[in-house]
Amino acid sequence: MGEKIATRNAYGQALAELANQYPEIVCFDADLAGATMSKFFLEAHPDRFFDMGIAECNMQGVAAGMAACGYKPFTNTFAMFAAGRSWEQIRNSICYPGLNVKVVGSHGGISVGEDGATHQCIEDFAIMRVIPGMTVLCPCDANEMRLATEALVNYDGPAYMRLGRLAVETVTDTIPGYKFELGKGIQLREGKDVTIIANGMMVQMALTAAEQLAAEGISARVVDMHTIKPLDGDIIKKAAEETGAIVVTEEHNIVGGLGAAVAEFCSENCPVPVVRHGVNDEFGRSGKAPLALKAFGLTPEVIAEKAKKALAMKK
Partner 1 sequence: MKTDKKTLALTAAKARLLAVQMVYEAASGHPGGSLSCLDVLTALYFDEMKIDPANPRDPERDRFVMSKGHCSPAVYPTLALRGFFPVEELKMFRRIDGHMSGHVEMKHVPGVDMSTGSLGQGISTAVGMALAGKLGNKDYRVYSVLGDGEVAEGQVWEAFMAANKYHLDNLCAIVDVNGLQIDGKTCDVMPTEPLDDKFRSFGAHVITIDGHDFDAITAAFAEAKATKGQPTVILAKTVKGKGVSFMENNAGWHGKAPNDEQFAQAKAELEAAIAALEG
List the catalytic residues: 56
32 binds partner 1 (CB under 8 A): no
3-state secondary structure of 115: helix
- Report the residue from 1, 20, 34, 88 that binds partner 1 according to the rule CB under 8 A: 88
137 binds partner 1 (CB under 8 A): no
- Report the residue from 1, 4, 20, 68 that binds partner 1 according to the rule CB under 8 A: 68
Q: What angle do CA 114, 116, 119 make, to 5 degrees?
A: 115
Which residue's CB is nearer to partner 1, number 95 or number 159?
A: 95
Which residue's CB is nearer to partner 1, number 157 or number 287?
A: 157
- Using CB under 8 A, count the residues that bind partner 1: 29
3-state secondary structure of 143: helix
Residue 71: C-alpha distances to residues 27, 45, 67, 100, 141 (Å): 10, 15, 5, 8, 27
131 binds partner 1 (CB under 8 A): no
Nearest to 303 by CA among 276, 285, 284: 276
- Report the residue from 6, 16, 25, 66 that binds partner 1 according to the rule CB under 8 A: 66
163 vs 179: CA distance, rounded Å: 20
End-to-end CA distance of the chain: 36
Which residue's CB is nearer to partner 1, number 29 or number 251?
A: 29
286 binds partner 1 (CB under 8 A): no
130 binds partner 1 (CB under 8 A): no
Residue 139: C-alpha distances to residues 41, 43, 115, 204 (Å): 20, 24, 23, 11
248 vs 202: CA distance, rounded Å: 10
Binding mask 242-281 for partner 1 (x = CB under 8 A): ----------------------------------------
- Report the residue from 35, 44, 55, 214 that binds partner 1 according to the rule CB under 8 A: 55
218 vs 201: CA distance, rounded Å: 22
Where does this chain bind partner 1 (CB under 8 A)? 26, 47-48, 50, 52-53, 55, 57-58, 60-71, 73, 88-89, 92-93, 96-98
